[in-house]
Chains A and B, each alone.
Chain A
Amino acid sequence: MYQSFIGLEIHIQLLTRTKVFCGCRSAFGEEPNTNVCPVCLGYPGVLPTLNAEAIRMAYVVARTLNCELAEYSLFERKNYYYPDLPKNYQISQYAAPLGRGGYLDIEFHGKRKRVGIHEVHLEEDAGKMIHAGDMSLLDYNRAGTPLLEIVTEPDMEIGDEAELLLQQFRRMVRYLGVCDGNMEEGSMRCDANVSVNRHGQGLGSKVEIKNLNSSRFVRKALNHEIARQEEILSHGGTIPQETRLWNENRDLTETMRTKESAHDYRYFPEPDLPPFTTTAQFLGAVEASLVELPLERRDRFIEQYDLATHQADFLTEERPLADYFEAAVEHGAEAHAAATWLAADVRKMLNRRRIEVQDSPLTPKRLAELLQLLAESRIHGKIAKQTLGEIFETGRDPLEIIRENGWEQITDPATLSEYVDQVLARHPKAVQQVRDGDSKPIGFLVGQVMKASSGRAEPRAVQELIIAKLELKVVQVLSFGGAISGVRRADGLVEPGDLVSLGELFAQDGFADSVRFDELHLGRFLSEEITPQDWAILLSEVASRLQTGAADGIVIAHGTDTLSYTASLLYWCFADTSAPIVLTASVLPHDKPGEEPHPHSDALRNLKAAVRKAMSGEPGVHVIYGDADFSPLNLKFEGLLPFSAPSRAHEAAGRKGAVGDRGAAESAAAGALSLGRFRNWNMESPVYRGRPISREIGELPRAELTRKLEQAVRSVFIAKVFPGMQGDTLIALMNAGVRYFILELFDTGTANLRETPYSLRKAFQHGEQAGALFFCTSQQEIAVDFSEYVTGHELWREGAIPMGRLTTESVYTRLLAALMVAENDDELVKLMED
């Protein structure tokens, strides 16, 4: 087993107005040799003068990287010959750099790591030499640009970490306003050092990699180089200390120079510059330049504004946008709405016009005003979008635009009430339908009011008014297959049945009219026959009922075997629901046709308990089984007891264990029947509510939802690792179109990676090429964090994503939900790790 050590040398050009040692403008992309003077051209007799802005920025970066700041930092001459270096030495720092011993924290796939910062030092950039035919041309505009070098400790292990650190560092310097972080233009550059050795033997020979013009190349080059060195070492070879170049066309590294030809830079203190000594005033200016960093700000946004991680990530990626967002909130915009609009409609407008939000006619105040008008229902969504366009077009205030165009909605209850009364009176048939439990005509009635008011009535208020006037307070029960709504045939086998007939039994039980049974017209099926289309129908039905307010609670009667999938899927889509969504199931159907109810059937009992939960108004997604209220996440259907032996169920239910057992235990105590055994894995306390993966999922049109779900399901495969499993099998699956694997591993995340046909390593490597992702869960009830074993660590190195405490079923449905909304894999991984 090998160990790898990665350190980075990052150079950033500081955004000072002038060069670091002279008064020339420091600018990119101007006519060659126009920003030059005797000093930066290295004329005889000139002297460097230290740029105050540059040294301040340098200390600000060092401070932000948690470095110990040198009270006394020394400039030195680094001697080397190159025609683009005017003095043939570079003024740099060596023995006493301005910052030392800092760190930067990164987190890759659940593994948080503190990467040490060895030092931070200030130096000057060189010019550029361009070879053109038989000529060599020199441009000294860049010569003397302040350059800050940041050297990390060799604390990283894989290219992915280096890429992440670089991205994080880039955001940081952009936030600080000290560098634009453009790797293509070279205002940020990175060389990487890597050394590979047998585990536990410390650092091996250091190999430096140059020509890394993007953070992606840094990752690719390092991972390539680590593999190359491991290959050599495993064949008994040795790694020479050398400098290699990344060849981006061939995706490999090539020797540039070996140690023997390494430079002797003959450092010595720069006699032209006295050591820089910090004063209280200077340090005060450094402190004053510090800003809240992207990660801190992201965490604060999540906390303070209750945003999802991916929303906060988007908002805090660039400082101007984050500032803009907060300014809008300060002006009264609701945070969620502002985040959503900025990520979607506003972003589209900006992209089309190629401007930045801070430069657009849409001031934070205008956005806030627009969103307030929307929140107060003075305009509806479509009008809001039109108004947004007008703001960009004319640069005027939203209210002004709306007034002028007569776009304001009618929200006055008295006026709306008149419209509603007229419409209800005119459509008695629809009203009757709704009263009979069919919620569909509500939409029709709303539409009629809209028509009557020439589209100016506020739809949500209209809907609320209709519901109020019809006094609809209902719990809707949806049948979604399973024994609970099944019937036992004459031959003893269970087949899909009719829940409505079951519901008829409720009448005697004092349940009010307000309990309404709805067949979803899913056809009769057993829960093991669920298809993506069935889920799509369920999701959109639930969404529309929640949206129309036509249900105060929803009960879903389900089969036991796939309950844990549907329950978690509903959670990922509706975790923030305020109306309870309650799933329930039974082991036995209520009865055989034309016979007495089965004495051991739990169908009616569970359904009643579920309806009671739904009527209780307790928000969130619940799974009612027996007397227990299980979490929809991490639900495991652990057993099924033959109805002839209920006593064993009692024994099982009495077993001490995780939270889910609580309900079983209680029901056992109550002497009730519990023929199936559910349990929540890895849970200290049940979770019913939370943040959904996305609020948009339920709002998608049913056809699109179906299409997306089908597409998602096709790209996913759940693989349980087992002794003898071969990596090639997974590769075959990839070739068949699988891009997302859920690997159910052993323990805290282990699998065979030893170099045999049974190793999964090949599959991972193939996966990296093929763009496949591996989400890892455990076969045991334990969190996967790759913490325990070497093989787990190797999996992490190969890029496998640990899913922590989540069970395979919950990860699968989460993946489906995430796939429906993520625009790319980066976003997907964020949604999965959130």
Chain B
Amino acid sequence: MSYWNRVLHDARRREAYTKFVRTQDAGLGAFLEFDPARRLDPPLAEHADPGDVSYAGSVSRARSRGAAAGGETPESALAGVPFAVKDNIAVAGFNLTCASRILEELQSPYTATAVRRMEAAGARVVGKTNLDEFGMGSSTDNSALGVTHNPYDHTRVAGGSSGGSAAAVAAGLVPVALGSDTGGSVRQPASFCGVYGLKPTYGAVSRYGLVAFASSLDVVGVCARELSPLQAVFNVIRGLDERDHTSQEPVSGPSAKVSVVGVLTGLQGLDPAVRAAYERTVEYLQGLGYALREVELSTLKYVVPAYYTIATAEASANLARYNGVRYGLRPERAENPDELVRIARDEGLGPEVKLRILLGTYVLRSGFQDQYYLRAQRIRTAIRNELARAFDNVQAILTPTVPVLPFAHGEGELTAFQQKLADIFTATASLAGIPALSVPCESTTGGLPVGMQLLAPAFAEERLFAVAGRLAEAAGERGLVARPENYPPLPDWAAAKGYELDWS
């Protein structure tokens, strides 16, 4: 960590760092925009506070944590640390493309709460990372604006939709990156890229500034190579935000202590390498002294259909605002407002996005809601209840993050439909709104990383960190977290290039 605090310290180091990232990213494609200088001195109040837009609800609301709160102290672990932000999270001065043609030219007029909190703690945005268009995908191949490779194997995908963030972290370009997770979009690429990926409890982190895909599922998540900066970031960005009525202060209560870990029974359709990694992780846990208890999730088979029904339904409304009228891609000429909107959408949105909007529109039609949307909501409740019951007996649950290994670009290895089916474990946590952490595990097959997912009850993120910490200690001796061979760390790279980096 120590050198990350100083990478941006002065012009010389910044230049070296910039050169490092540009060189490394040339073949990787993690960033859509990279400019460490742009927000070195972020305006701390970018627009006026919401004023009297205070919530009168029954929930007692803490005072807004503005830029000043939790302020920038020299001791802050994040002081001076560069971080990357997925390009569906707003940062004033940077684009907010969502990897879509329709927003390709859009500069964000404001900054997301999570980003403002990071900056208030001293961290600095250095760039925006690639993603599947509007977060819709598991490969980042659905980006209209660039290709991102898996740092371990450039023929393979980095995962998605936060593929850019995970790849940038895995390649050592930034120590941490913000991503977004709707059904696994932080955890799945984290698993594919061999880094930690946290999806916090729904509502633990403000969504203000996160471009909505499916509002009841979306959370701002964190990718990091190591656990401690990930925790530091989470502690900074979490908490109530006046601008997000679904945000909350952590519920007090859930103890951080974990003694019994749930293990899934009846797992089917796992890649043998994933199964092996899962079993080995279970052994590690046992070796670390955790009691194990089998957990059966009968609702698991309904997760993917329910997830896609709800997510596309919400997406169909959330994406309706992109019409080329107020911002974004607008045709040169149109006969009338209707035509203007039609052309903007036709040219501006990619096929996966169109597919999901159509699906969502379909499931919300009047007369069909009971069959699709409301049914999916009932399933969601059942899943949440089943998990709640499971947590009566265990403090955390271990699942694979993804049932498959990082797959090749294109649909040759895994079709778009199969990619959706692979959301099964991650989407479970999303539907239940509970926190989940993808932990990088020993890579066993052809040097490709595998991640394991830990689940905990709402607002019990500490349990995830506790178990992951123990696993990291245990694995540290065995080198659990590998570094992709072609990405030397910044000091090594600098030394090789003849740059003198003075860290004193």
Query: With contacts A37-B47, A45-B112, A138-B325 known, is A89 near B53, CB below 8 A?
Result: no
A17 to chain B, nearest CB (A): 6
Query: Does A759 count as interface, using CB distance less than 8 angstroms?
Result: no
Q: How far is the CA of A271 from the CA of B214 in the complex (A)?
A: 9
Q: How far is the CA of A81 from the CA of B337 in the complex (A)?
A: 11
**Interface stretch (choices B142-150, B312-320, B421-429, B474-482):** B312-320
**Interface stretch (choices A276-284, A313-321, A612-620, A632-640):** A276-284
B215–A266 touching, CB < 8 Å: no
B336–A17 touching, CB < 8 Å: no
CB contacts (< 8 Å) of A81 on chain B: these are 320, 323, 341
Determine the residue in chain B with the shortest Cβ distance to A88: B320
Query: Does A822 count as interface, using CB distance less than 8 angstroms?
Result: no
B242 to chain A, nearest CB (A): 7
Query: Does A562 count as interface, using CB distance less than 8 angstroms?
Result: no
A89–B320 touching, CB < 8 Å: yes
A49–B216 touching, CB < 8 Å: no
Query: Does A783 count as interface, using CB distance less than 8 angstroms?
Result: no
Interface hits, B73-100 → A, CB 8 Å = 88-90, 96, 98
Query: With contacts A268-B313, A272-B215, A274-B245 known, is A49 near B50, CB below 8 A?
Result: yes
B47–A282 touching, CB < 8 Å: no
Mask, A784-824, CB within 8 Å of B = 1, is 00000000000000000000000000000000000000000
Query: Does A722 count as interface, using CB distance less than 8 angstroms?
Result: no
**Interface stretch (choices B13-21, B359-367, B393-401, B439-447):** B359-367
Determine the residue in chain A with the shortest Cβ distance to B109: A38
B75 to chain A, nearest CB (A): 32
B56–A52 touching, CB < 8 Å: yes
Query: With contacts A18-B52, A266-B364, A268-B317 known, is A50 near B245, CB below 8 A?
Result: yes
Determine the residue in chain B with the shortest Cβ distance to A78: B317
Q: How far is the CA of A56 from the CA of B96 in the complex (A)?
A: 36
A43–B314 touching, CB < 8 Å: no
Query: Does B211 count as interface, using CB distance less than 8 angstroms?
Result: yes
**Interface stretch (choices B117-125, B202-210, B251-259, B271-279):** B202-210
Chain B CB within 10 Å, residue with most, of A42, A49, A79 = A49
Interface size for B (C-beta < 8 A) is 58
B164 to chain A, nearest CB (A): 17
B99 to chain A, nearest CB (A): 12
CB contacts (< 8 Å) of B96 on chain A: these are 44-45
CB contacts (< 8 Å) of A49 on chain B: these are 50, 53-55, 242-245
Query: With contacts A45-B88, A45-B96, A47-B208 known, is A83 near B341, CB below 8 A?
Result: yes
Query: Does A273 count as interface, using CB distance less than 8 angstroms?
Result: yes
Query: Does A522 count as interface, using CB distance less than 8 angstroms?
Result: no
Query: Does B297 count as interface, using CB distance less than 8 angstroms?
Result: no
B48 to chain A, nearest CB (A): 7
Q: How far is the CA of A37 from the CA of B49 in the complex (A)?
A: 12
B115 to chain A, nearest CB (A): 11
B320–A136 touching, CB < 8 Å: no
Q: How far is the CA of A821 from the CA of B275 in the complex (A)?
A: 97
Mask, B185-216, CB within 8 Å of A = 1, is 00000000000000000000001111110111
A83: contacting residue among B48, B314, B323, B369, CB under 8 A? B323
B340 to chain A, nearest CB (A): 8
A42 to chain B, nearest CB (A): 4
Determine the residue in chain B with the shortest Cβ distance to A52: B56
Q: How far is the CA of A89 from the CA of B89 in the complex (A)?
A: 22
Chain B CB within 10 Å, residue with most, of A53, A87, A266, A274 = A266
Query: With contacts A43-B327, A278-B58 known, is A23 near B51, CB below 8 A?
Result: yes
CB contacts (< 8 Å) of B109 on chain A: these are 38, 43
Query: With contacts A42-B321, A83-B325, A88-B320 known, is A272 near B246, CB below 8 A?
Result: yes
B243–A77 touching, CB < 8 Å: no
B52: contacting residue among A53, A129, A277, CB under 8 A? A53
B320: contacting residue among A50, A53, A87, CB under 8 A? A87
Query: Does B487 count as interface, using CB distance less than 8 angstroms?
Result: no
Q: How far is the CA of A472 from the CA of B103 in the complex (A)?
A: 98
Mask, B331-366, CB within 8 Å of A = 1, is 000001100010000000000000000000100111
Interface hits, A490-507 → B, CB 8 Å = none
Query: Does A549 count as interface, using CB distance less than 8 angstroms?
Result: no
Mask, A351-390, CB within 8 Å of B = 1, is 0000000000000000000000000000000000000000
Query: Does A41 count as interface, using CB distance less than 8 angstroms?
Result: yes
CB contacts (< 8 Å) of B325 on chain A: these are 83, 138
Interface hits, A77-103 → B, CB 8 Å = 77, 79, 81, 83, 86-89
Query: Does B326 count as interface, using CB distance less than 8 angstroms?
Result: yes
A52 to chain B, nearest CB (A): 3
A271–B216 touching, CB < 8 Å: yes
A18–B208 touching, CB < 8 Å: no
- 23 examples of A-B residue contacts, CB within 8 angstroms: A18-B51, A23-B50, A23-B53, A38-B109, A44-B321, A45-B209, A47-B243, A49-B50, A49-B55, A51-B52, A51-B53, A52-B54, A52-B55, A79-B320, A81-B320, A89-B317, A136-B337, A266-B361, A266-B364, A271-B214, A277-B57, A279-B58, A282-B58
Q: Which 7 A-B pairs have the closest CB atoms?
A: A52-B56, A88-B320, A271-B215, A271-B216, A266-B364, A44-B211, A23-B51
Kindly list 5 other residue pairs between chains A and B, CB separation below 8 angstroms, not including A136-B337, A271-B314. A18-B53, A22-B50, A23-B50, A44-B88, A79-B364
